[in-house]
Amino acid sequence: MFLRNLFCCLLFFIFDGFVYADSNDIIESGYHLDTIDLSSEYLCLSVDSISALSSLDSSLVIVDDSLYNVELPKKLKWMDTKLFYVTHIPLSLISLGIIEKQFDKKTRQLRNDFMPSFHDETDNYLQLAPVVVLYGMKAAGVKSRSSWSRMIVSHAATVAFMFPLTRSLKSIFKVQRPDSSKPNSFPSGHTTTAFMTATMLHKEYGYLSPWVTVGSYSCATATGLMRMANNRHWYSDVLCGAGLGMLTTEFGYWIGDLLFKDKGLNVSDHRHNKFSKYDHPSFLSICNGVNIPFNDHFYDKSGDIFSPTAGQSFGLEGAYYFSPYIGLGAKCCATNIDLADDYDTTCDNHVIRYCQVMSGVYGNLPVTDRTSFCSKLLLGHAHFKGLECENCDIDAFSVICANTELGLTYKLDTHFGTRFSLNYNILKSDNVLTEKFIHTLSIGGNIIFHF
């Protein structure tokens, strides 16, 4: 009896280790299945309780003359690892920034079209708002993820890594700022700092409410947008800066976790990546795309003909869903269309500029827990700025517009996602530019925050 038990024990350790089964993972397999009352989260099947293993390659075990099919622990998928969890969003932002680089001038043209003289220094202070809130809450006694010492070490490691990295990249790439002031545009230091402080607040107090995360990253996003509005940075600078800010913060907290281990950890890290296709996909997002006109030609007041060419679209969008399938939302975007004359030449002055404000119904069709198809039908108002230059004279006008979309959304995280979309726009022209309607197709994507 002793030798038999010893032999079973050796086989058990070599091939399976200890067999743990959740109560929900034990199913009846053709034999009588007794009801097992588990006193703990897992059931440990000891060697003495096992009469035989039906197969070394199988999870069938016999316990007290009953046959059970036990779902053995599975290998960890790479998308479930901590490394993927802390890097996939920052690296996605950096990748988007690299892709956006070739469209920087068109995106900047929108800024020059709609706010050429904008100047505001609020971004100098807004970048630090999340960390001020963080230390204020900590000083007030609100329980955070980390103790004072653990948090300070994590933040010090973050800052010690982030600032030299940012300065080094600026020196290496020497990208000229949009205002031509200095060759140190890439990446945006303000945006890197803003997303660093936002991630600090998220990691320490994000467990309290998702709105803590919404508020912190809203401040960071506003900082990045203001850097663009102030003509100090390109859009690619802001995207890459956002990714670097998040990535360096994760590195700093990794250093803190490595040094302190479980000491001073008040709230355990919880990965809220439990996706469900039946979640309500309410969101706020930044949308950006290439705007392609379908009209063959436009004409000005004197009857001169111009050929429209691709422009750029940039804006903000959000929707609240009442169910996994339907919601209400709104979109505000600025768009331009380049014009070429009979000689197929374009200049900065030959640009049609208009702003759209629309609202309507949003639809969502879940495919998997992470992906879904989305659509919308919006109605609203579009205002065209006047255009007066050599060989082109167009008055300002306002019209009714409509927008519909077909898109594919992918959840990177419980709160973050991205979307590829095709937006069809139709605008009533009232015999300005063209006889009836202006038709455009915007191809682009959204950076999404789900709430």
Single residue among 70, 92, 126 that ends a domain in this structure: 70
**Does 298 map to a domain?**
yes
Q: In terms of domains, do 48 and 112 share one? A: no
* Residue 318: strand pairing partners: 284, 330
CA atoms within 13 A on the CB side of 274: 3
CA nearest to 383, candidates 359, 399, 401, 394:
399
Question: Letter for the amino acid at 101?
Answer: K
Q: In terms of domains, do 66 and 144 share one? A: no
- Single pTM value for the model: 0.77
Single residue among 70, 99, 126 that ends a domain in this structure: 70
Single residue among 46, 70, 94 that ends a domain in this structure: 70
Report DSSP state, residue 74.
Answer: P
Domain containing residue 26: 2-70
Residue 279 and residue 217: Cα distance in Å, rounded? 21
Contacts of 430 (CB under 8 A, 6+ apart): 397, 399
pLDDT at 299: 74
Per residue of the chain (451 residues), what is the pLDDT tens digit?
A: 443 343 344 333 333 333 333 333 333 333 333 334 333 333 444 444 444 443 444 455 555 555 555 554 555 566 667 788 788 889 999 999 998 898 898 889 889 888 889 999 999 999 999 999 999 999 999 999 999 999 999 999 999 999 999 999 999 999 999 999 999 999 999 999 999 999 999 999 998 988 899 899 999 999 999 999 999 999 999 999 999 999 999 999 999 999 999 899 988 765 556 778 888 999 999 999 999 999 887 776 666 777 888 888 999 999 999 999 999 999 999 998 888 765 444 445 578 889 999 999 999 999 998 899 999 999 999 998 877 666 666 778 889 999 999 999 998 888 889 999 999 999 987 666 666 788 999 999 999 998 8
Residue 321 and residue 29: Cα distance in Å, rounded? 43
Tally of structural domains, the chain: 3
Contacts of 161 (CB under 8 A, 6+ apart): 248, 251, 252
pLDDT at 431: 64
Q: In terms of domains, do 390 and 426 share one? A: yes
* Residue 355: strand pairing partners: 334, 383
**Look-up: residue for tokens 């060419």?**
309
CATH number of the structural domain spanning residue 183: 1.20.144
Residue 276 and residue 324: Cα distance in Å, rounded? 10
**Does 267 map to a domain?**
no
Report DSSP state, residue 46.
Answer: -
Q: In terms of domains, do 56 and 95 share one? A: no
pLDDT at 362: 98
Check: CB of residue 315 under 8 Å from CB of residue 423. Answer: no
pLDDT at 396: 82
Q: In terms of domains, do 97 and 155 share one? A: yes
